[in-house]
Homo-oligomer: A and B are copies of this chain.
């Protein structure tokens, strides 16, 4: 599963760097059929998802990944499930928030797009 883990690492590095510096740039990772559940709110499609992500009410955010796991999600297609837990530092708050996020990535030419995306903050 070395390749799977390398793909997951490359994807999450790019995803969180883009989220933290240029949220609108995430749109290219989603398609019309992509789904996002953001704190329980369901959204479908790259446009709706990007609108949600760019309207989140914080001006500065930093993701710090704590754990990263990946598994193949299909016996026939090179898709994968990526599960992330980590910390979210919002607007330089000294109290980072714990988060959990799950992606399913589907191959698309030489790259991948996000078919599933589920994000949750974890309150203690």
Q: A1-49: which residues lie under 8 A (CB-CB) from chain B?
A: 1, 33, 35, 37, 40, 42
A81 contact from B67, B85, B118, B123, Cβ within 8 A? B118
Contact with A67, one of B42, B67, B75, B120 (Cβ below 8 angstroms): B120
Q: How many copies does the complex hold?
A: 2
> Within 8 Å CB of A73, what residues of B?
73, 104, 115-116
Report A113 CB to chain B, min CB distance, Å.
Answer: 13
A120, B35: Cβ atoms under 8 Å?
no
Q: Which A positions have Cβ atoms within 8 angstroms of B?
A: 1, 33, 35, 37, 40, 42, 66-67, 69, 71-75, 81, 83, 85, 98, 100, 102, 104, 115-116, 118, 120, 122-124
